[in-house]
Amino acid sequence: MPLKIKQHEQFMVLMTGVIDINHSSLQHRRQNIIEAHNYNDILKLIVTTQFDLILLDLSTNSPDTSVPEQSRHFCHPLVARIKDPVGINNKTPIIAIRHPTEDAQYPMEFDDSLVSPITAEQLNEIIDLWQTKASALNYIQIIQLKTKNNHRLTLTLFEKLFEEFPRQIIDIEDALENKQYDLAQAITHKLNGSASFCGLTDIQQPANALESCLIKNDYAAIDRQFLMLQQHTLNLTNHQESILANLGKC
Protein backbone atom coordinates (compact mmCIF):
# COMPACT_ATOMS: atom_id res chain seq x y z
CA MET A 1 0.00 0.00 0.00
CA PRO A 2 1.76 3.16 -1.15
CA LEU A 3 2.06 5.96 1.36
CA LYS A 4 2.47 9.66 0.76
CA ILE A 5 5.98 10.92 0.06
CA LYS A 6 7.07 13.00 3.03
CA GLN A 7 10.45 14.39 3.98
CA HIS A 8 11.31 16.46 7.07
CA GLU A 9 7.76 16.11 8.48
CA GLN A 10 6.57 14.62 11.74
CA PHE A 11 4.88 11.23 11.87
CA MET A 12 1.27 12.10 12.65
CA VAL A 13 -0.97 9.68 14.53
CA LEU A 14 -4.72 9.96 15.15
CA MET A 15 -5.94 8.06 18.24
CA THR A 16 -9.71 7.64 18.59
CA GLY A 17 -12.01 6.36 21.29
CA VAL A 18 -11.15 6.27 24.97
CA ILE A 19 -7.49 5.27 25.19
CA ASP A 20 -6.19 5.70 28.74
CA ILE A 21 -2.47 6.26 28.17
CA ASN A 22 -0.02 8.19 30.32
CA HIS A 23 1.55 10.25 27.54
CA SER A 24 4.69 10.92 29.58
CA SER A 25 5.54 7.24 29.13
CA LEU A 26 5.45 7.44 25.34
CA GLN A 27 8.68 7.67 23.37
CA HIS A 28 7.03 9.90 20.80
CA ARG A 29 6.66 13.64 21.15
CA ARG A 30 3.19 14.60 22.31
CA GLN A 31 2.42 16.81 19.32
CA ASN A 32 2.73 13.79 16.99
CA ILE A 33 -0.37 12.21 18.55
CA ILE A 34 -3.81 13.77 18.19
CA GLU A 35 -6.74 12.36 20.16
CA ALA A 36 -10.44 12.51 19.29
CA HIS A 37 -13.24 10.82 21.18
CA ASN A 38 -16.42 11.32 19.20
CA TYR A 39 -17.52 10.76 15.63
CA ASN A 40 -17.88 14.38 14.56
CA ASP A 41 -14.47 15.42 15.92
CA ILE A 42 -12.81 12.45 14.20
CA LEU A 43 -14.61 13.25 10.95
CA LYS A 44 -13.38 16.85 11.01
CA LEU A 45 -9.79 15.72 11.59
CA ILE A 46 -9.66 13.09 8.85
CA VAL A 47 -10.84 15.58 6.21
CA THR A 48 -8.52 18.40 7.29
CA THR A 49 -5.34 16.75 8.61
CA GLN A 50 -3.05 14.31 6.84
CA PHE A 51 -2.13 11.45 9.16
CA ASP A 52 0.44 8.69 8.80
CA LEU A 53 -1.44 6.26 11.06
CA ILE A 54 -4.99 6.09 12.40
CA LEU A 55 -6.01 4.02 15.44
CA LEU A 56 -9.78 3.65 15.12
CA ASP A 57 -11.88 2.40 18.04
CA LEU A 58 -14.56 0.14 16.56
CA SER A 59 -17.01 1.26 19.24
CA THR A 60 -17.02 4.85 17.95
CA ASN A 61 -20.64 5.18 16.84
CA SER A 62 -21.97 7.22 13.96
CA PRO A 63 -24.64 9.80 14.83
CA ASP A 64 -26.43 8.62 11.69
CA THR A 65 -29.01 6.20 13.08
CA SER A 66 -29.71 4.88 9.59
CA VAL A 67 -26.45 2.89 9.78
CA PRO A 68 -27.39 -0.61 11.04
CA GLU A 69 -25.75 -1.47 14.35
CA GLN A 70 -24.62 -4.89 13.11
CA SER A 71 -22.78 -3.39 10.13
CA ARG A 72 -20.56 -1.07 12.14
CA HIS A 73 -17.99 -3.67 13.11
CA PHE A 74 -17.70 -4.96 9.56
CA CYS A 75 -17.76 -1.74 7.56
CA HIS A 76 -17.20 1.09 9.99
CA PRO A 77 -18.80 4.34 8.77
CA LEU A 78 -15.60 6.30 9.42
CA VAL A 79 -13.55 3.91 7.28
CA ALA A 80 -15.57 4.86 4.22
CA ARG A 81 -14.82 8.52 4.93
CA ILE A 82 -11.10 7.82 5.44
CA LYS A 83 -10.85 5.69 2.30
CA ASP A 84 -12.58 8.28 0.11
CA PRO A 85 -10.46 8.26 -3.10
CA VAL A 86 -10.21 12.06 -3.06
CA GLY A 87 -9.56 12.24 0.69
CA ILE A 88 -6.15 13.20 2.07
CA ASN A 89 -6.02 10.04 4.22
CA ASN A 90 -7.15 7.50 1.62
CA LYS A 91 -3.78 5.69 1.79
CA THR A 92 -3.28 6.03 5.55
CA PRO A 93 -3.00 2.70 7.44
CA ILE A 94 -5.86 2.11 9.89
CA ILE A 95 -5.44 0.04 13.04
CA ALA A 96 -8.67 -1.37 14.51
CA ILE A 97 -9.04 -1.05 18.28
CA ARG A 98 -11.42 -3.80 19.34
CA HIS A 99 -12.69 -4.85 22.72
CA PRO A 100 -11.91 -8.28 24.26
CA THR A 101 -15.51 -9.44 23.76
CA GLU A 102 -15.44 -8.77 20.03
CA ASP A 103 -14.52 -11.23 17.30
CA ALA A 104 -10.76 -11.70 16.92
CA GLN A 105 -11.12 -11.27 13.16
CA TYR A 106 -11.03 -7.60 12.24
CA PRO A 107 -12.55 -6.29 8.99
CA MET A 108 -10.28 -6.51 5.95
CA GLU A 109 -10.33 -2.74 5.42
CA PHE A 110 -8.09 -2.43 8.49
CA ASP A 111 -4.33 -2.99 8.34
CA ASP A 112 -3.94 -4.44 11.85
CA SER A 113 -5.75 -4.60 15.18
CA LEU A 114 -5.16 -4.04 18.89
CA VAL A 115 -7.27 -5.21 21.81
CA SER A 116 -8.14 -2.59 24.42
CA PRO A 117 -7.05 -1.56 26.95
CA ILE A 118 -3.85 -0.53 25.16
CA THR A 119 -0.62 -0.11 27.09
CA ALA A 120 1.97 2.57 26.38
CA GLU A 121 4.40 -0.20 25.37
CA GLN A 122 1.95 -1.55 22.79
CA LEU A 123 1.32 1.92 21.44
CA ASN A 124 5.05 2.60 21.14
CA GLU A 125 5.56 -0.69 19.30
CA ILE A 126 2.75 -0.13 16.80
CA ILE A 127 3.82 3.45 16.06
CA ASP A 128 7.46 2.42 15.64
CA LEU A 129 6.46 -0.44 13.32
CA TRP A 130 4.37 1.72 11.01
CA GLN A 131 6.75 4.67 11.16
CA THR A 132 9.58 2.43 9.99
CA LYS A 133 7.42 1.03 7.21
CA ALA A 134 6.27 4.50 6.17
CA SER A 135 9.85 5.78 6.03
CA ALA A 136 10.91 2.82 3.92
CA LEU A 137 8.01 3.25 1.52
CA ASN A 138 8.67 6.98 1.25
CA TYR A 139 12.28 6.36 0.22
CA ILE A 140 11.13 3.69 -2.25
CA GLN A 141 8.62 6.03 -3.86
CA ILE A 142 11.15 8.85 -4.12
CA ILE A 143 13.56 6.69 -6.12
CA GLN A 144 10.77 5.03 -8.11
CA LEU A 145 9.85 8.50 -9.37
CA LYS A 146 13.38 8.77 -10.74
CA THR A 147 13.37 5.29 -12.30
CA LYS A 148 9.79 5.56 -13.60
CA ASN A 149 8.84 2.51 -11.53
CA ASN A 150 11.60 0.34 -13.02
CA HIS A 151 11.93 -2.25 -10.25
CA ARG A 152 15.33 -3.60 -11.29
CA LEU A 153 16.85 -0.12 -11.62
CA THR A 154 15.33 0.96 -8.29
CA LEU A 155 16.86 -2.08 -6.57
CA THR A 156 20.24 -1.40 -8.23
CA LEU A 157 20.23 2.21 -7.03
CA PHE A 158 19.37 1.22 -3.47
CA GLU A 159 22.09 -1.43 -3.40
CA LYS A 160 24.60 1.12 -4.67
CA LEU A 161 23.51 3.73 -2.09
CA PHE A 162 23.66 1.22 0.78
CA GLU A 163 27.18 0.30 -0.29
CA GLU A 164 28.49 3.80 -1.03
CA PHE A 165 26.99 6.08 1.62
CA PRO A 166 28.41 4.38 4.74
CA ARG A 167 31.87 4.16 3.16
CA GLN A 168 31.75 7.78 1.98
CA ILE A 169 30.73 9.02 5.44
CA ILE A 170 33.68 7.17 6.98
CA ASP A 171 36.06 8.56 4.33
CA ILE A 172 34.79 12.12 4.83
CA GLU A 173 35.21 11.81 8.60
CA ASP A 174 38.77 10.48 8.21
CA ALA A 175 39.66 13.29 5.78
CA LEU A 176 38.29 15.93 8.15
CA GLU A 177 40.19 14.49 11.11
CA ASN A 178 43.39 14.64 9.05
CA LYS A 179 42.58 18.16 7.81
CA GLN A 180 42.49 16.90 4.22
CA TYR A 181 39.77 19.36 3.28
CA ASP A 182 40.15 19.06 -0.47
CA LEU A 183 39.69 15.29 -0.22
CA ALA A 184 36.70 15.71 2.09
CA GLN A 185 35.15 18.15 -0.38
CA ALA A 186 35.68 15.76 -3.32
CA ILE A 187 34.02 12.85 -1.49
CA THR A 188 31.16 15.05 -0.29
CA HIS A 189 30.66 16.27 -3.87
CA LYS A 190 30.32 12.67 -5.07
CA LEU A 191 27.87 11.80 -2.27
CA ASN A 192 25.95 14.97 -3.04
CA GLY A 193 25.69 13.98 -6.70
CA SER A 194 24.27 10.56 -5.84
CA ALA A 195 21.71 12.06 -3.47
CA SER A 196 20.71 14.67 -6.05
CA PHE A 197 20.39 12.10 -8.86
CA CYS A 198 18.12 9.93 -6.68
CA GLY A 199 15.99 12.83 -5.46
CA LEU A 200 17.00 12.38 -1.80
CA THR A 201 16.69 16.02 -0.83
CA ASP A 202 16.99 15.27 2.90
CA ILE A 203 20.55 14.06 2.23
CA GLN A 204 21.32 16.48 -0.58
CA GLN A 205 20.70 19.57 1.58
CA PRO A 206 23.26 18.82 4.34
CA ALA A 207 25.69 17.56 1.68
CA ASN A 208 25.34 20.91 -0.11
CA ALA A 209 25.90 22.75 3.16
CA LEU A 210 29.02 20.76 4.03
CA GLU A 211 30.44 21.11 0.53
CA SER A 212 29.86 24.86 0.68
CA CYS A 213 31.66 25.12 4.05
CA LEU A 214 34.63 23.18 2.67
CA ILE A 215 34.84 25.36 -0.43
CA LYS A 216 34.67 28.55 1.64
CA ASN A 217 37.09 27.21 4.28
CA ASP A 218 34.42 27.81 6.92
CA TYR A 219 36.09 25.48 9.41
CA ALA A 220 33.92 26.58 12.35
CA ALA A 221 30.79 25.13 10.71
CA ILE A 222 32.29 21.99 9.16
CA ASP A 223 31.81 19.66 12.12
CA ARG A 224 28.17 20.67 12.59
CA GLN A 225 27.35 20.21 8.91
CA PHE A 226 29.13 16.86 8.79
CA LEU A 227 27.12 15.57 11.77
CA MET A 228 23.91 16.61 10.03
CA LEU A 229 24.95 14.81 6.84
CA GLN A 230 25.94 11.73 8.81
CA GLN A 231 22.55 11.62 10.56
CA HIS A 232 20.57 12.05 7.36
CA THR A 233 22.45 9.27 5.59
CA LEU A 234 21.81 7.06 8.63
CA ASN A 235 18.11 7.84 8.30
CA LEU A 236 18.27 6.05 4.96
CA THR A 237 20.71 3.23 5.66
CA ASN A 238 19.02 2.31 8.96
CA HIS A 239 15.96 1.39 6.91
CA GLN A 240 17.87 -0.88 4.54
CA GLU A 241 16.18 -4.10 5.70
CA SER A 242 12.69 -2.61 5.57
CA ILE A 243 13.31 -0.95 2.19
CA LEU A 244 14.49 -4.18 0.57
CA ALA A 245 11.64 -6.15 2.18
CA ASN A 246 8.98 -3.73 0.90
CA LEU A 247 10.49 -2.86 -2.46
CA GLY A 248 8.42 -5.41 -4.36
CA LYS A 249 5.17 -4.34 -2.65
CA CYS A 250 5.00 -0.84 -4.09
The span from the CA of 140 to the CA of 136, in Å, is 6
150-249 folds as Four Helix Bundle (Hemerythrin (Met), subunit A) (1.20.120)
| pLDDT at residue 17 tops 50 | yes
The span from the CA of 76 to the CA of 57, in Å, is 10
Please write the tens of the pLDDT for every residue from 24-59. 556 655 558 888 888 889 989 999 999 999 998 887
Can you give the pLDDT at residue 19? 63
Please write the tens of the pLDDT for every residue from 216-228. 999 999 999 999 9
The span from the CA of 211 to the CA of 217, in Å, is 10
Which of 52, 65, 136 shows the shortest CA–CA distance to 95? 52
CATH class of 13-141: alpha beta
Please write the tens of the pLDDT for every residue from 67-105. 444 334 435 778 888 888 889 998 899 998 887 776 656
**How is the chain split into domains, by residue range?**
13-141, 150-249
The span from the CA of 47 to the CA of 157, in Å, is 36
The span from the CA of 114 to the CA of 118, in Å, is 7
Assess whether the previous peptide bond of 117 is cis (omega < 30° from 0): yes
